[in-house]
Structure 1
Amino acid sequence: MRRIVAGPLLVTVNCILTIVAVAVDIKFEQRLNVLLLLALPIACVSWYGSQKQAEYALLFVVGWSVYWGIGGDWIAWVNRVLETISIAAIWYCVRELRLSLERGKISRQTDEITEVLTRRYFLQKLSEEMERSRRYQRSLTVVNFDISNFHEVNEAGGQAEGDKVLRMVATTVRDHLRFGDCIGRIGADEFAILLPETDNEASEYVIQKMKQLLAKEARKNYWPIGFSFGAITFGVAPSSIEEVLDALDEVMAYAKKDGKNHVRHDKM
């Protein structure tokens, strides 16, 4: 998940607001409540900054409140404690709201059972990588595979056993992909893998490795399943995503025509 880091402009604005709040505090000797001026930069950094930036901002405000509370009467101390609690509450609420929205975004992007990308977001990722392939003239490999006899497992062991198969497939493939590669569940028993900047030879090695790992896990769990793979390596990705999907359907049809547990890998 991409984390938004506060840019120079945001940092500058927040520093100015903090300096203004501190200056007002000093000028009026704490007679003027500057909670709002301090709360604004805290809220901004908590929303747009990193976790560490937000923590530093909160520590600064807490330290400033403690510093001004030293030597004051008990009323000044109570005011400072209440201000600090209020600012900390703002910091916490803003951070939790942001994290909640990020978790919601992740849940929409990933399949509930397998925790890999849904079809929609896999195709979005594919579109992005196709554009990058064309821009930099880099190769791109797209792999499609499905689980043979999956319905037999569902019928014999129930939906829970079928879900266990799906999770095994997703976890096995995901754990052996490089950073930047991705896997998505694009059908009931169908998955797709995206291998950016991977040529024909390298992608063939990945496909055969995945096939062996999945077969090993299936035997270990006594599942009567197999895996058919269809893959295409593009020297440079085409401009249409429909062209890629149609080509994948075609190679998958050839792979299944050859029988279960076969691989068809074309180069375009």
Structure 2
Amino acid sequence: MIKRHIIFAASFVTTIIIGYSDYLSGVHVSMMLLYAVPVLLSAWYCGKVEGIFVAVGATVSWFLVNANNNPSGESEAVMSWNAFTRFGIFVLIAYTVSLQAQLRRALERERLRSETDRLTGLLNKGAFRDRVEEEMDRARRYKHSLSLAFIDLDNFKRVNDTQGHARGDRLLQQVSETILHAIRRTDIAGRIGGDEFAVCFAETGEEEARKAINHLLKTLQIMTSQSGWQVTASIGVVTCRELCDTYDALLGKADKQMYLAKEKGKNTAEFVAI
């Protein structure tokens, strides 16, 4: 909201500055294009109404400049008509640009909705796969390491059975929030099943992955103990040193490591490097 106000105020002030420059340059130099710039910016970033307000300011600024700098002696009727046509052009710019901005934002919202798991806000299974495969291609190209973690909640079914699905959903939301807070902004997190999550650690070797997963486990333990959830997490991690396998094969290896972690008592992580 503050950003919109700043852009709107800056656009309005800009029309005054352009008007003063227009006055200094004289009637023989057209500033039409410059007047249109703040109208365009305010309409794109602020909206149609703000764009029209700036269009009014640009028109008034132009009219005052030409009224005080009118060597050809144009009549008031001619000047009024010219001002009206310029106002119409500015309003058309504001209206068209604002519609384009609305359409772009709507398309972006739809894209995010199609990629996002509605319950947790993480990437859904398909979007996670796409993002990880892009990262795997990058790892192959530049010969970077990459680590993939498969996370499964221990005793989650007991929560659903004893406390209800609404409480289970709340647990999944809290786990997702904890994962996002524990990983880097460059890492990729997704929900790939009911109580199954996955995290792709870009450009991350085995030692770095161990540190990241240990931090994640501790963060999850703190969250569950403070919130009273009787659950833990078992995590399987696979690290590609240079050449990554396919996504399905990589996820399968991480899944196997996760089951090893469960067999060893849960609430732990198992690692493998390939």
TM-score by length of 2: 0.72
| Distance (whole Å) between structure 2 residues aligned to residue 152 and residue 239 of structure 1 | 35
2:138 aligns with one of 132, 135, 141: 132
Partners in 1 of 2:214 and 2:52 — Cα distance?
52
Distance 1:237 1:181 in 2: 19
CA distance in structure 2 between the partners assigned to 1:263 and 1:124 by the alignment: 25
Q: Secondary structure at the match of 1:87?
A: helix
CA RMSD of aligned residues (A): 3.2
1:123-148 deviation line (CA, Å, top 9, x unaligned):
11111111111111111110011111
SS of 2:233 mapped into structure 1: strand
Residue pair 2:150, 2:251 contacting (<8 A) in 1 also: no
Q: How many residues align?
A: 226
Structure 2: runs of 5+ lacking an equivalent? 1-26, 68-75
Task: Report the 3-state secondary structure (helix = DSSP H, G, I; strand = E; otherwise coil) of the residue aligned with 2:177.
Answer: helix
Q: Take 2:82 and 2:249, find their aligned partners in 1: how far apart are those partners? A: 71
C-alpha spacing 1:62/1:177, structure 2 compared with 1 (3 Å): farther
Q: Which secondary structure does the structure 2 equivalent of 1:175 belong to? A: helix
Contact residue 166 and residue 189 of structure 1 kept, 8 A: yes
- Deviation sequence 1:183-210 (CA, Å, 0-9, x none): 1000000000110111111110111111
SS of the residue corresponding to residue 224 of structure 1 reads coil
The equivalent of 1:194 in structure 2 is 200
Instruction: Please name the residue that 1:12 is paired with.
Output: none
Label 1:95 to 1:225 Cα distance change in 2 as closer, same or farther (>3 A).
same
Q: CA 1:135/1:62 → structure 2, altered by over 3 Å: closer, same or farther?
A: farther
Matching residue of 1:69: 63
In structure 2, what residue type is equivalent to 1:183? A
Q: Is the 8 A contact 1:143 1:229 kept in 2?
A: yes
Q: Are 1:261 and 2:267 counterparts?
A: yes
Given the alignment, which residue of 197, 209, 212 partners 1:206?
A: 212
**Quick one: which of 105, 122, 138 aligns to 2:128?**
122
Give distance in 1, aligned partners of 2:141 and 2:86.
56
| Contact 1:69-1:80 at 8 Å conserved across structures | no
> Is 1:141 matched up with 2:147?
yes
Structure 1: 5+ residue stretches without partners: 1-25
